[in-house]
Amino acid sequence: MPLRGNAPVPGAKEFYPLNDPEIGTDEKVPLLFQPITIGGTTFKNRIFVSPMCQYSSSNGHATDWHLVHIGGFATRGVGAIIMEATSVVPEGRISPEDAGLWTDTQIEPLKRIVQFCHAQGTKIGIQLAHAGRKASTLAPWARGGAYIAPVEQGGWPDDVYGPSTLPFHEKFPTPKEMDEPHLTYVENAFVEAIERCEEVGFDFIEIHSAHGYLFHSFLSNLSNDRTDSYGGQPLENRLRFPLRVIKSCREAWSKPLFVRISASDWADRPEQGDDGLWKQWGIEQTKVLVGELLKIGVDFVDCSAGGNWAEQKIPLSHGYQVPFAESLKKAYPGLNVGTVGLISDPEKAEGYLQEGKADVILLARELLRNPHWPLTAAKALGVYLKVANQYERAVV
């Protein structure tokens, strides 16, 4: 290793040792560690941190937990971090302790996190969200068999909204059907949150349209039984509101725009019946949605699945959702698509990229188990990965 001084990161508000070359880079790299340019922004490698709810915010405000949690990934070589689902309105949170960006006081705690990540040479974005009919629920470890967060525990079970009055499950709140003024209110809230993202300094934004939350629930006829222009069997109707909001977000945001989708409801029924009617949300409808997203100017599709049907049956295994990303790549060869789904094996992850099934690997639980996964992957693939100066004693 060449000798070098302990130079500071230029322009950082505090002293951080400058990493040169950047953390997470190497000259001889497999695809997993090669840069990728999305929407004009270059990411140093293709290991992205998936959004992971922490249920640890203070009235929607990020805390030191988030600084440590997110900052740890920034120092360990990932190409990008997507901060957890962050609601654009208070009643759009999943739990009372979820993140938010509906007021200006929530800007500064996020800016602190972003500045730290930038000082480590790591790109960071945020997932803007609305939980829809799955709002006002307790954090997973607080449920004890009960799901609804009552008023006395900070919940709002009588102020939950969705496309229809269909609850996700009998243990969840019964939502109110959103009327046109409420649809406009939510659309405006997304745009206002994007203005705050500009102030925070995020490198990209992801819109959450997956896992049974608001936009996904509009898309699927398992959760949307409206009879107006925003529902029913015509796919065009069910796409209308999510596309309307995403289009407004695209117009308000000049940097890369990601959208997370669910490619299937994993319901125990065909996607389309012999009568020609849609029975569940699936890959064929997803292809139509992605085509429309590309027309809007979305730069990246984060391809997941499930979360909208309480009785879903998912064949869990390593990379079980990769075929959905692969299908979208075949339909749209120029699409930048990320894949998820219990991915942990570096050689298999590299294989998904080499085989053209995806462009980016997104990890969640595996990074919770092993935040140093980029280093683990580099060793498995036979390359040297630059680590933070402070951690070099562990690898030299």
Question: What does the pLDDT look like over 224-266, one tens digit per residue?
Answer: 999 999 999 999 999 999 999 999 999 999 999 999 999 999 9
* Residue ranges for the chain with pLDDT beneath 50: 1-3
d(CA 56, CA 54): 5
Q: Is the dihedral of CA 260, 263, 266, 271 positive or negative?
A: positive
Q: Provide the percentage of residues in the chain whose pLDDT is more than 70.
A: 98
Q: Around Cβ 181, how many Cβ atoms within 10 Å?
A: 7
- Residue 1's pLDDT is 42
What single DSSP character describes residue 278? B
DSSP β-bridge partners for residue 32? none
Report which residue type is found at 358. Answer: A
Q: How many helices (H) and strands (E) does the chain have?
A: 10, 13
pLDDT 10s digits, 124-144: 999 999 999 999 999 999 998
- Residue 27's pLDDT is 59
Q: Around Cβ 293, how many Cβ atoms within 10 Å?
A: 26
Residues that are catalytic:
213
Report in angstroms the alpha-carbon separations of 121 from 29, 76, 205, 321, 338. Answer: 18, 11, 18, 30, 21
Q: Is the dihedral of CA 140, 145, 151, 153 positive or negative?
A: negative
d(CA 245, CA 178): 14
CA dihedral of residues 76, 117, 49, 61 (deg, nearest 10):
130
pTM of the model: 0.93
- Residue 2's pLDDT is 45
Structural domains in the chain, sorted by start: 34-367 (3.20.20.70)
Q: Indicate the SS3 state at residue 49.
A: strand
- Residue 193's pLDDT is 98
Return the ∠ at Cα 172 (arms to 186 and 151), rounded to 5°.
75
